[in-house]
Amino acid sequence: MNTESPAVTAIADLQTHVGQAVTLRGWVYHLRSSGKVRFLVVRDGTGLAQGVLVKGNLPEEDFQQFDRLTLESSLILEGKVKAEPRAPGGYELEVSRLRPVNISQEFPISPKEHGVAFLLDRRHLWLRSPRQQAILRVRDEVCRACRDFFQERGFVLVDTPILTPTSCEGTTSLFETNYLDQGKAYLSQSGQLYLEAAAMALGRVYCFGPTFRAEKSKTRRHLTEFWMVEAEAAFFTLEDVMALAEDLVRHMVARVLLHQEPQLRLLERDLGPLEQVVAGPFPRLSYGEALERLKEQGKEIPWGEDLGGDEETVLSQMFQRPVLVHRYPRSAKAFYMEPDPADPRLALCVDLLAPEGYGEIVGGSQRMDDLETLLKSLAAHNLPREPLEWYLDLRRYGSVPHGGFGLGLERVVGWLCGLHHVRETIPFPRLIDRIYP
RNA sequence: UCCCGGGUAGCUCAGUGGUAGAGCGGGUGGCUGUUAACCACUUGGUCGGGGGUUCGAGUCCCUCCCCGGGAGCCA
């Protein structure tokens, strides 16, 4: 009785099966009925395709199954592929069999407008929408571009711990947990210190993993759990750090433009600014020069103060490409940064600001390599020395100049996709007041 | 933590102290090429919770809760 089904095909591959019978498996994206001709748009994760049901072209029983279908019902379709400019996706299936797998209950998310809170409460369902799929594909591309980039340059992936005994930066932003009989442990807010140890072993290393910050930051650029790529290399100067960060960012943008242009178009991303990023070198400004530029724009910042989001936005909008701002005052930066020999008030550090108002996506520096200088810095920052003895060891046993940077994955993806908020760039965002679903 | 703006049907929202509304969605019927289809009918309510003012409160006042936007801090 059973006739054999044609080969299962992904919607993205339909173009190579025109004129052939195929089987599609997916979910109902849209339904329309016009009497004896019925249309359904199916999605399968690779794209959208339209199915056409004409009474008489398929078993009456299958034709009637159409009336049971609801949005997001899962189903298996068989039919002949036809190129059809009128159809969403450009290809159409003349349906010869229709078998529902599961009739969906009323799906809460429609193609109409929804509020942010409503969608975030249903993030597990929201992921099915074309925009969210496009963003996740861009994220995937950025991750792969990053791994390829470091591998090609001889960097070794070193996974740093997520449970840590101490903090790297302020203790106010730490997630705390109990660690068996050992007392408190904290979720990692940076792999940097461990990466420095690994750089003394392997020369060039990087890590890529989740990072946790319990900051009560409620902005479009903050998550409490985000992914960070960190690189560290022995014998690297600030110049080397800046060049590497610039190359990485350019490489990521180029890869996304090369492989994910359809996603960017779906997201209605203006490609012009991204093409600019790939086209040439990034401008560089010292902190002092940045203050002058800001003053010209009517934003006067007292020397010594860090640049806020507003200032970053103004600066980044002055250039068509990402801008590297280097040599901030040490007072505004972390304890481990090497002082500038030309002006010891300054740190050999750099922030990379994305254009179009997206702000900081990379922060890096040359690290202190001298034991005495580092000890003085710890004292100046009121940091306890004992839990960092292992870190100080790196300065006791063959210390060398070294440096590195961290790049925030979600901020990069948000920028590349042209999004207003990073919460859409990670599958299940963790925000200050939200840990569901 | 602070400063703004919100909370009314499943969703997005309107609602001037005096009968609780629209569009979309859902349901029923119609339509042989639809494109967020269309047409007709229909179904939807603890107006965030509590208290107060008033003849009368979705509307005014107090309070609590929740959500959004921004600031500080950071990737």
Q: Looking at residues A252-268, what average pLDDT do you find?
A: 96
pLDDT in tens, A131-169: 999 999 999 999 999 999 999 999 999 999 999 987 555
Least confident of A34-38, A207-211, A288-292: A34-38
Least confident of A99-113, A201-215, A364-378: A99-113
Q: A305 falls in which pLDDT band (50, 70, 90)?
A: confident
Distance from residue A39 (CA) to nucleotide B35 (C1'), in Å? 10
Round the average pLDDT of chain A to a whole number and report it. 92
CA distances from A31 to A37, A46, A99, A222, A363 (A): 11, 19, 15, 38, 49
- Strand B close residues, chain A 102-121, CB < 7 angstroms: 106, 108, 110-118, 120
Q: Which nucleotide is nearest to A170 (CA to C1')?
A: B73
- Strand B close residues, chain A 137-176, CB < 7 angstroms: 169-170, 173
Q: A244 falls in which pLDDT band (50, 70, 90)?
A: very high
Contact between the CB of A208 and strand B at under 7 Å: no
pLDDT at A282 over 90: yes
CA–chain centroid gap for A345, Å, is 34
Distance from residue A248 (CA) to nucleotide B53 (C1'), in Å? 65
Distance from residue A359 (CA) to nucleotide B68 (C1'), in Å? 22
pLDDT at A225 over 90: yes
CA–chain centroid gap for A31, Å, is 33
Q: Which nucleotide is nearest to A409 (CA to C1')?
A: B75
Q: What is the distance between the alpha carbons of residues A74 and A72, in angstroms, rounded to a whole number?
A: 6
Q: What is the pLDDT of residue A166?
A: 73
Full 3-state SS string of chain A: CCCCCCCECCHHHHHHHCCCEEEEEEEEEEEEEECCEEEEEEECCCCEEEEEEECCCCCHHHHHHHHHCCCCCEEEEEEEEEECCCCCCCEEEEEEEEEEEECCCCCCCCCCCCCHHHHHHCHHHHCCCHHHHHHHHHHHHHHHHHHHHHHHCCCEECCCCCEECCCCCCHHHCCEEECHHHCEEEECCCCHHHHHHHHHHHCEEEEEEEEECCCCCCCCCCCCEEEEEEEEEECCCHHHHHHHHHHHHHHHHHHHHHHCHHHHHHCCCCHHHHHHHHHCCCCEEEHHHHHHHHHHCCCCCCCCCCCCHHHHHHHHCCCCCCEEEECCEHHHCCCCECEECCEEEEECEEEEEECCCCEEEEEEEEECCCHHHHHHHHHHCCCCCHHHHHHHHHHHCCCCCEEEEEEEHHHHHHHHHCCCCHHHCCCCCCECCECCC
Distance from residue A430 (CA) to nucleotide B64 (C1'), in Å? 26
Q: What is the distance between the alpha carbons of residues A39 and A33, in angstroms, rounded to a whole number?
A: 6
Q: What is the distance between the alpha carbons of residues A294 and A288, in angstroms, rounded to a whole number?
A: 10
Contact between the CB of A434 and strand B at under 7 Å: yes
pLDDT in tens, A160-201: 999 998 755 555 688 888 899 888 889 999 999 999 999 999
Q: Which nucleotide is nearest to A311 (CA to C1')?
A: B71
pLDDT at A409 over 50: yes
On strand B, nucleotides with any atom < 7 Å from a protein CB are: 1-2, 10-13, 23-27, 30-38, 66-75
